[in-house]
Structure 1
Amino acid sequence: MAAADDLDTITERWTALEEAAGTRPVTTWPPAMGITRVLDDEERQALAEERADTNPDAPGPRPAPVDVDVLDVMTTIEQGLITTADWLASRVQRPVVTAATGRGWGDELHRQVALLAARDGADPRRWRFTGQRDAPAAAEWLALRLRAAPGPFRALDDGEQQAVARVAAMGAELMRRALGEERRREAVPEPCPAPCGGQLVVEGGDGAPPVVLCEDCGRAWTETSSGAA
């Protein structure tokens, strides 16, 4: 099931996303490649000073120690998964067993019912509305529901499966993009330098070298050590 696989990806790759958030971004999208952006002298000087300013005691604002864009992606994924798990649990999770006998703890029947209720409420398969509520836990729980794993739940209907699948697909795509594993295509504002003057697009973002393509004449530019070629 593709949706469950997407949720598995989020669970398995969440640590990699956390590690990516702990490092400063070193690239931007779309890439400049010498054809979409030229730094003026002031920008080059500012970047050089930022790279050189590594003394933590130096005056002035400090560069962000984390990748804010990745943190935003993590927040979006986590909120989407937890909200979906809350919604789904409210629909498919069976209420905790309750059957008061009114006979007191000394009565064997009362004791057995109370223990049953306690075990049912503590069932680790249940989704909790308090406590550990993070993206990996929500993704794992949702994947188990899609796979109809046993527990105090009813089976998901088609609408519920589709709703979870949409959130799973969105989260997996955002994660792949943030980790540089999703190839993207985006228009370039400048026209093709060839006589056709056609629309340029840049493709990349998946770890492979980016390329600029002209949709009209088919000319292509790739990153080289000296800029675009």
Structure 2
Amino acid sequence: MTTAATHLRTIALHWTDLSEAAGTPAQLGAFGLGLRGYLARLDQADAEQLEYERHQAAHLRSLERDPIQLGDRPVPVRLHILDTMRLVEAALVACADDIARTAQRAPISVPAARKADYRTLREARIAYEDRQRRTQLAIADQRDPRRWRYTGRRTAPHAALWLLARVERAPGPCRRITDAEEARIGKVAAGAADRVERALDIAAQRRTLEQLHDCGGAIDVHGGEGRPPLAHCTGCGAVWSEGGVIAA
């Protein structure tokens, strides 16, 4: 059984891959919505690429007319990847916010300066050193990198790693999370990891199409993990891909 920790590690490890994939051309080896859906995606991608090249050619001609404008050819942005990143990051950060509000203790307060009359210089020195020590402890606690913050670095990988530390009961300025809190983290992590894996096509998938084969058998489509999808008839045993029948 896949654990919350595994899901959170998947997100943290593949976030850079997701960022890079957002600005690179699509790899059309994805699972899709079945064999017909896969073929439709190929046709759509060809049309989108032709449209992109037409606009790019017009853009380059405009640059030739205006030699002041210089720059590299823009990289097509994959909007579905960006949408995945936005949704995953929002879910993980919101989950970390909620867990931190209940499980993370408040920072130690810096001791306030106060006026006091000391009978001896030794008493004054002891009080000063104690106040300095407590001030240093408070500052160190406030700056503890294990502390979740509501400003600053609020990224998906940072939230995933912070939640991973809570799931694994790592030391830090937090109490041990409850079973309900762990279940909440697990549910969010599973959904986020699934989105990341689907966007990168790194998860094996299998789906049975509603349409039956000519022999009346059900059609199972296998794909994912970067592989082109294969269709298999559970009735007659035929196997085929987008390129045609492989075995019958």
Q: Is TM more than 0.5 here?
A: yes
Q: Post-superposition shift, 1:200?
A: 3.2
Do 1:7 and 1:139's aligned partners in 2 also have CA atoms closer than 8 Å? yes
1:1-229 mapped onto 2 (5 Å cutoff): 2-27=3-28, 29-30=31-32, 33=35, 46=47, 49-50=50-51, 52-53=53-54, 54-55=56-57, 57=59, 65-98=76-109, 100=111, 102-103=113-114, 108=128, 109-188=130-209, 190-192=211-213, 194-196=214-216, 198-224=217-243, 227-229=244-246
Q: Cα deviation per residue 1:163-200 (whole Å; 9 max; x = unaligned)? A: 111111222222111111112234545442x242x443
Question: Aligned Cα RMSD in Å?
Answer: 3.4
Q: Cα deviation per residue 1:37-63 (whole Å; 9 max; x = unaligned)? A: 679x9x89956743753425169xxx9
Q: Is the alpha carbon distance of 1:162 and 1:49 closer, same or farther for their aligned partners in structure 2, counting shifts above 3 Å?
A: closer
| Bigger Cα displacement from structure 2, 95-104 vs 205-214 | 95-104
Do 2:31 and 2:205's aligned partners in 1 also have CA atoms closer than 8 Å? no
Q: Is the alpha carbon distance of 1:100 and 1:46 closer, same or farther for their aligned partners in structure 2, counting shifts above 3 Å?
A: closer
Query: 2:70 — aligned with what?
Result: none
Q: Secondary structure at the match of 2:57?
A: coil
Q: State the percentage of identical aligned residues.
A: 35
Q: Post-superposition shift, 1:124?
A: 1.1
Which has a greater percent of helix?
A: 2
| Bigger Cα displacement from structure 2, 177-186 vs 158-167 | 177-186
Q: Post-superposition shift, 1:214?
A: 3.3
The structure whose RCO (Cα within 8 Å, separation 6+) is larger is 2
Q: Post-superposition shift, 1:206?
A: 2.2
**Quick one: which amino acid aligns to residue 219 of structure 2?**
L
Which of structures 1 and 2 has the bigger CA Rg?
2
Unaligned runs of 5+ in 1: none
**TM-score, scaled to structure 1:** 0.79
CA distance in 2, matches of 1:147, 1:26: 35
CA distance in 2, matches of 1:120, 1:163: 27
Q: Post-superposition shift, 1:201?
A: 3.9
Q: Secondary structure at the match of 1:161?
A: helix
**TM-score, scaled to structure 2:** 0.74
CA distance in 1, matches of 2:98, 2:190: 17
